[in-house]
Homo-oligomer: A and B are copies of this chain.
């Protein structure tokens, strides 16, 4: 495995490759970038470049050994590591994420869930008991948590964010439809449903050409 520069766009595609490869590894012991590109509806050169920067174990005429490529991707993405995370906001979306089992495939483990509302604290969600916010600091320190997930309404998002940052969190997954202000060195990844919906709606409305 190499350690070249990988663009964010490439990084986003890697899990797609990994997921597809896992699903076909029994039928296809080896696979070419062209075939992979075709299966995922991507440009073949792009896939070749992406794989090259992460694995580099492709052989001319043969392509990649599927199993080998899976291992390289998993290693690169840290799927075998165990990243502890905390979640703030045990509403509908928060509980859905807590119950979602697929995260462990990517090395993520949500160790605790918090909510500001006393009505929700103490209830169970996805195998965890929802805790009050004032326990956040202790949990983060004890478990060396660096990743925080925000699933509160937009109005409370910045506050939740500030609390997470104060606890030493350096990566935030934000599901609230707001932009968060964070200090240098903290990464925010926005999962903005409204943005996606805008793209879909505009396609349906049809006017106002999209580039």
The answer for the CA separation of A195 and B13 in the assembled complex, in Å, is 7
A198 and B15 form a contact (CB under 8 A): yes
Contact of A179 among B40, B155, B210 (CB under 8 A): B40
A187 and B208 form a contact (CB under 8 A): no
A contact patch SS = helix
Given contacts A177-B15, A198-B77, A200-B147, contact A100 B93 (CB under 8 A): yes
Contacts of A198 in B (CB 8 A): 11-12, 14-15, 77, 106
Given contacts A100-B93, A194-B16, A195-B16, contact A200 B210 (CB under 8 A): no
Interface residues on A, range: 35 or more
B178 and A19 form a contact (CB under 8 A): yes
The answer for the CA separation of A77 and B207 in the assembled complex, in Å, is 11
Which A positions have Cβ atoms within 8 angstroms of B? Answer: 3-8, 11-16, 19-20, 23, 39-42, 76-78, 81, 83, 92-93, 95-97, 99-100, 102-103, 105-108, 146-147, 154-155, 170-171, 173, 177-179, 181, 187, 189, 191-205, 207-211
Please name 15 further chain A to chain B contacts, defined as beta carbons within 8 Å, in addition to the given A7-B210, A11-B202, A93-B96, sorted by A numbering: A3-B207, A4-B208, A5-B209, A5-B210, A8-B199, A8-B211, A11-B195, A15-B198, A16-B177, A20-B178, A23-B154, A23-B155, A42-B179, A81-B201, A189-B199
